[in-house]
Amino acid sequence: MNLITPIPAVAVPLAALALGLAACATAPAVAVPAALGAGANESLAMVVPARGVQIYQCRAKGDSHEWAFVAPDAELLDARGNVIGQHGAGPTWRALDGSQVSATLKARADAPVAGAIPWLLLAARDTGPKGAFSGVTSIQRVNTAGGLAPATACNGAIAGRQERVHYTADYRFFTIR
What is the spatial distance between Cα 9 and Cα 64, in angstroms, rounded to a whole number? 51
Nearest-5° Cα angle at 173, 172 to 175? 140
- DSSP assigned state of 132: T
| Residue 171 in domain | yes
pLDDT at 148 over 60: yes
What is the spatial distance between Cα 137 and Cα 157, in angstroms, rounded to a whole number? 43
pLDDT at 176 over 70: yes
Which residues span the domain enclosing 122? 14-176
pLDDT tens figures, 63-117:
999 999 999 999 999 999 999 999 999 999 999 999 999 999 999 999 999 999 9
| Residue 5 in domain | no
What is the spatial distance between Cα 148 and Cα 17, in angstroms, rounded to a whole number? 35
| Residue 9 in domain | no
Pick 86 or 22 by higher pLDDT: 86
Count of structural domains within the chain: 1
| Residue 1 in domain | no
Average pLDDT score over the chain: 88
Q: How many CA atoms lie within 13 A of 81 on its CB side?
A: 3
What is the spatial distance between Cα 4 and Cα 22, in angstroms, rounded to a whole number? 12
- The beta strands (E) that lie in 25-153 are given as 42-61, 64-77, 83-88, 92-95, 100-109, 119-126, 136-146
Contact 165, 57 (CB under 8 A): no
What is the spatial distance between Cα 27 and Cα 22, in angstroms, rounded to a whole number? 12
Q: What is the pLDDT of residue 163?
A: 98
Q: What is the pLDDT of residue 29?
A: 76
> What is the reported pTM?
0.84
In the predicted model, what is the mean pLDDT of residues 57-67? 97
Contact 139, 169 (CB under 8 A): no
| Residue 115 in domain | yes
Contact 135, 12 (CB under 8 A): no
| Residue 109 in domain | yes
| Residue 138 in domain | yes
| Residue 39 in domain | yes
pLDDT at 53 over 60: yes
Measured in residues, the chain has a length of 177
Element (H, E) at 164: strand 162-176
